[in-house]
Amino acid sequence: MSNLQSQTNWRHWLHRWDVQQSGYLPLREERFQVMLDALSLTMPESFTALDLACGPGAISQRLLQRFPAARCIAVDYDPVLLAIGQGSLGTMGNRLRWIEADLMQAGWIEILGESQVDAVLSTTALHWLPIDQLVRLYQQLGHLVRSGGIFLNGDHLYFSPHLETFKRLAKTIQTQQEEQAFVEGNQEDWQRWWQAIADEPALKALLEERQRRFAPRLTDNEPTLELHAAALREAGFRQVDTIWQRWDDRILMAVR
């Protein structure tokens, strides 16, 4: 870590990330709460969780605060968000391990150093994967999650194309939420947050590396709920269904 980075107020950036994300997801904390509730009802006191596409560690932070005997592995490929997470949270008493890995590379799972985990959690992330990569990822999780373990994905899991009214209503609500937060409330949005990051000298090199990694692949996909569920069942998860929903923002739970 450079001298500039050692002087960076990482918690400031983590807080701004949380605020920015809440503009897109007003019920973000409720969604986290439901996911952790699912863990409390299915996991033993001590368990190992994987925070998949972790960003700055929003899931890891909340999970380890709630479950003092748990440990977590946080995986992402974004060097900026990983730096913010590591700088803000550290290892949380040696219970949090950070791994830099590209989920689009088949070998990412070998870097974990774990043959099995009890639970995998992800939020607002896997929609970036192309459909074929998402299906392959679920196949890998089918081997990684132990029997009886769970996978939880909180994200926009879209309505099927033939449900035109449902899709239109969900998009309308999302647009209204964002206008209320970012226009009427003048809340910092995704673009403004990243512009602020670009103005932080300590993060210049990491931002350049991020742009190099993601520029060829920043495409937002819209996999439907049915696609996610079918791919998880094909991967060996025996029970798959929604446990929380607000329009197309859902938590999909799969039991191995």
- The answer on pLDDT for 28 being more than 60 is yes
126-163 pLDDT, tens digit each: 999 999 999 999 999 999 999 999 999 999 999 999 99
Query: Which pair of tokens denotes residue 239?
Result: 């029970």
- The answer on pLDDT for 32 being more than 80 is yes
191-213 pLDDT, tens digit each: 999 999 999 999 999 999 999 99
Domain count, the chain: 1
Residue 240: HSE in the Cβ half-sphere, 13 Å Cα cutoff: 19
Determine the structural domain holding residue 241 and report its residue range.
Answer: 3-255
| Residues paired with residue 122 on neighbouring β-strands, in sequence order | 153
CATH number of the domain enclosing 14:
3.40.50.150
Amino acid at 168: R
Please classify residue 174 by burial: count the beta carbons closer than 10 Å to its beta carbon, then call 0-12 exposed, 13-18 middle and 19+ buried. middle
Q: Would the pTM of this model clear 0.85, i.e. be above it? A: yes
Contact between 23 and 181 under an 8 Å Cβ cutoff? The reply is yes
Cα 188 to Cα 154: distance, rounded to the nearest angstrom: 22
A 10 A CB-CB count for 219 gives 8
Nearest 5 degrees, angle CA 35-CA 54-CA 200? 130
- The answer on pLDDT for 220 being more than 80 is no
